[in-house]
Each structure stands twice: as structure tokens, then as C-alpha cells.
């Protein structure tokens, strides 16, 4: 199948590559020429605009940083809706505000274009492996039609409900991940300053009730003092902003999320915004005057 792919960043590139590995033909567009050159080198075709992608493909995937970027790519001049035929399917895999998904969906409906929101979890490592968790909102029949496409990029693709449900589910995911990293960082700052080897703490508790996918993924990075981004702090700030905004609008207080947001904002102000969100540990190291990372 010929699939359009718009947005070739840290996640989009490997996702597009996995679609090609599954036998799909990719027509790609990104505002960063280097990203386009990379994916063309892997076998994709390039297009000069989002409109051109939609003119060539009946199925179009967007994987962009935030709501305004998706609105521009889909609704703006030379955007997807300028080139898409009625009956085309837009799969927005960006993590954006649920309300924004509904607004874009309403404009797609006017042109007879189907849309689902299908944000992902797993960061760059799982994007590379093709084992992302994909959360989907929209019409069930459209989800069923594109299920095999989604499974080329993820180990799971779960239908969550009407349009916006995918991004609502992603917000819940991002709240849990952020709080989990903060809890791990706080606990390891405590145990390390108390004189216990952090590696032994990790080995002792990871198999118990405190164990988690987040702990298994992030503690080795913290111990190695490796904050190369699998998922950047600035992107997590964006997601938590969307979560807090949604919570305010529907009357759900997010007290712990607000606290972690302030930690992330502090790290951003200190120049860590492009580091992995496991760098939350650096905040705790600083305020506790302790180094969690293993000594060389």
C-alpha cells in the first residue's frame, strides 16, 4: 500500500522505516530537509508538501510535535486537506490535545476525509523495534481498516473510543510515566544518600510490586548518567500541559502532575529540555546533594 508520512522526527523516521519493512511504499514530507533525505535513503519517495503527500496517497500518517503543528499540516495552506480526496484516511499519530483532535476531525468530515487519532507510547527504542503501544480514537470501522498498518509499527493497537479517546488515553499514560520517573528518582536519591548501592536497590525491587516498565527502562540510564533522549523533557512538558489543560476543562484536579510539571520546568530552565525525561533524577540529585549514577 502507498502511505503518506508527514513528520520525520525522532519517532517518525523509524516508524516510516518499519512501514517500508512491512512492504508499504512511503511518500514522505518534513520541513527539515535532512529528515527527508534520511528516509529517501531508506527507500521512500519525497514530496514537496503535505498537500502533495495527500494527492498521492489515500492513507496519510502525521507524526508531529503538538496540536498547532498538526493543524498547520492538515488544515493550513498546502496542507493535507488541500490535496486529499474524499474517502482518504488521516491517521494522526501525534500526541496532541483531545480537543484539537476533535477540531481537526470536524474539518476532515466536511471534506469527506476519515480520521483517527492514534498516539503512541514507547519512545524512540520501541519506535525503532516496531513495538510501540498505540491508542486509537475514532470510528471503529476505520480502526479495523488500518489495523494492519498500525501493527507494522507497534506491538499493540487498542481501540479506545470515539475521536479524541486515543489522545485522552495517551495523556493518562504520560501522567503515569512522569509520576513513575519522579517516584523512582526520589526513592533512589533517598536510598543512595542513605548509603545503599543503587544497583543493588534496583536488582532487589524491580521484581516486586514497585517494579515497572518505566523502572526497567530508566534506572539503567540514570545509573549510567546517560540522558540521551528517547523521549525529551520538552516533549513531556508539552504532554503534561495538555493533560493539565484537559483536567482544568473537565474539572479533574491533577495535583501530582502539577508537581512533576514544576520539576520539568526547572530542568528546562537549566538547559535540560532536550535531554531524556529520566533526567528528572538530576533534579533530585541536586536538591539532595547526592549522585545516583554508578561510580566508574
Query: Looking at residue 190, which CATH number applies to its domain?
Result: 1.10.1040.10
Q: What is the pTM of this model?
A: 0.90
* 77 and 181 inside one domain: no
pLDDT of residue 192: 98
Angstrom distances, CA of residue 172 to CA of 5, 31, 37, 42, 203: 26, 30, 35, 34, 28
In a domain? residue 216: yes
Nearest to 242 by CA among 122, 117, 96, 104: 96
pLDDT of residue 83: 98
Q: Which of 13, 51, 126, 170 is catalytic?
A: 170
- Of 146, 163, 180, the last residue of a domain is 163
pLDDT of residue 230: 83
Whole-angstrom distance between the N-terminal and C-terminal Cα of the chain? 50
Domain holding 225, by residue range, is 168-288
In a domain? residue 119: yes
In a domain? residue 137: yes
Per-residue pLDDT of the chain (296 residues; tens, 9 = 90+): 999 999 999 999 999 999 999 999 999 999 999 999 999 999 999 999 999 999 999 999 999 999 999 999 999 999 999 999 999 999 999 999 999 999 999 999 999 999 999 999 988 889 999 999 999 999 999 999 999 999 999 999 999 999 999 999 999 999 999 999 999 999 999 999 999 999 999 999 999 999 999 999 999 999 999 999 888 999 999 999 999 999 999 999 999 999 999 999 999 999 999 999 999 999 999 999 999 997 64
* 32 and 136 inside one domain: yes
Query: Looking at residue 75, which CATH number applies to its domain?
Result: 3.40.50.720
Beta bridge partner(s), residue 276: 232
- Of 118, 144, 163, the last residue of a domain is 163
Output the DSSP codes for 246-292.
HHHHHT---HHHHHHHHHHHHHHHTT-TTSBGGGHHHHHHHHHT---
* 175 and 119 inside one domain: no
Backbone angles phi, psi at 245, to 5 degrees: -65, -45
* 11 and 141 inside one domain: yes
In a domain? residue 293: no
* 145 and 194 inside one domain: no
* 32 and 52 inside one domain: yes
pLDDT of residue 295: 61
* 40 and 157 inside one domain: yes
In a domain? residue 24: yes
In a domain? residue 21: yes
Q: Domain total for the chain?
A: 2
* 140 and 185 inside one domain: no
In a domain? residue 294: no
In a domain? residue 50: yes
- Of 107, 139, 163, the last residue of a domain is 163
User: Which parts of the chain are beta strand (E)?
Assistant: 2-6, 25-29, 45-46, 59-62, 89-92, 114-117, 120-121, 132-137, 154-161
* 29 and 89 inside one domain: yes
Task: Based on the residue annotation, tell me whether 51 is a catalytic residue of this protein.
Answer: no
Amino acid at each position: 500500500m502507498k502511505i503518506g508520512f508527514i513528520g520525520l522526527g525522532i519517532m517518525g523516521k523509524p516508524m516510516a522505516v518499519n512501514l517500508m519493512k512491512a512492504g508499504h511504499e512511503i511518500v514522505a514530507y518534513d520541513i527539515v530537509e535532512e529528515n527527508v533525505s534520511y528516509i529517501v535513503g531508506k527507500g521512500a519517495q519525497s514530496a514537496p508538501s503535505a498537500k502533495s503527500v495527500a494527492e498521492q496517497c489515500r492513507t496519510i500518517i502525521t507524526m508531529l510535535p503538538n496540536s498547532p503543528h498538526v493543524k498547520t499540516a492538515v488544515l493550513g495552506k498546502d496542507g493535507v486537506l488541500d490535496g486529499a480526496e474524499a474517502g482518504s484516511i488521516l491517521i494522526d499519530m501525534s500526541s496532541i490535545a483531545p480537543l484539537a483532535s476533535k477540531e481537526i476531525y470536524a474539518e476532515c468530515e466536511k471534506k469527506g476525509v476519515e480520521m483517527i487519532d492514534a498516539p503512541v507510547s514507547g519512545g524512540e527504542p520501541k519506535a525503532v523495534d516496531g513495538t510501540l503501544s498505540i491508542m486509537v480514537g475514532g470510528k471503529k470501522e476505520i480502526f479495523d481498516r488500518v489495523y494492519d498498518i498500525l501493527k507494522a509499527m507497534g506491538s499493540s493497537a487498542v481501540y479506545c473510543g470515539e475521536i479524541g479517546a486515543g489522545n485522552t488515553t495517551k495523556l493518562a499514560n504520560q501522567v503515569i510515566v512522569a509520576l513513575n520517573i519522579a517516584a523512582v528518582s526520589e526513592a533512589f536519591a533517598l536510598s543512595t544518600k542513605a548509603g545503599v548501592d543503587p544497583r543493588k536497590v534496583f536488582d532487589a525491587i524491580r521484581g516486586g510490586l514497585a517494579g515497572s516498565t518505566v523502572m526497567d527502562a530508566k534506572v539503567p540510564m540514570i545509573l549510567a548518567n546517560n540522558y540521551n533522549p528517547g523521549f525529551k523533557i520538552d516533549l513531556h512538558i508539552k504532554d503534561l500541559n495538555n493533560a493539565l489543560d484537559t483536567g482544568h476543562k473537565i474539572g479533574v484536579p491533577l495535583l501530582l502532575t502539577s508537581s512533576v510539571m514544576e520539576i520539568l520546568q526547572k530542568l528546562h530552565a537549566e538547559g535540560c529540555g532536550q535531554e531524556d525525561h529520566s533526567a528528572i533524577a538530576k533534579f533530585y540529585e541536586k536538591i539532595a546533594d547526592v549522585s545516583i549514577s554508578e561510580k566508574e
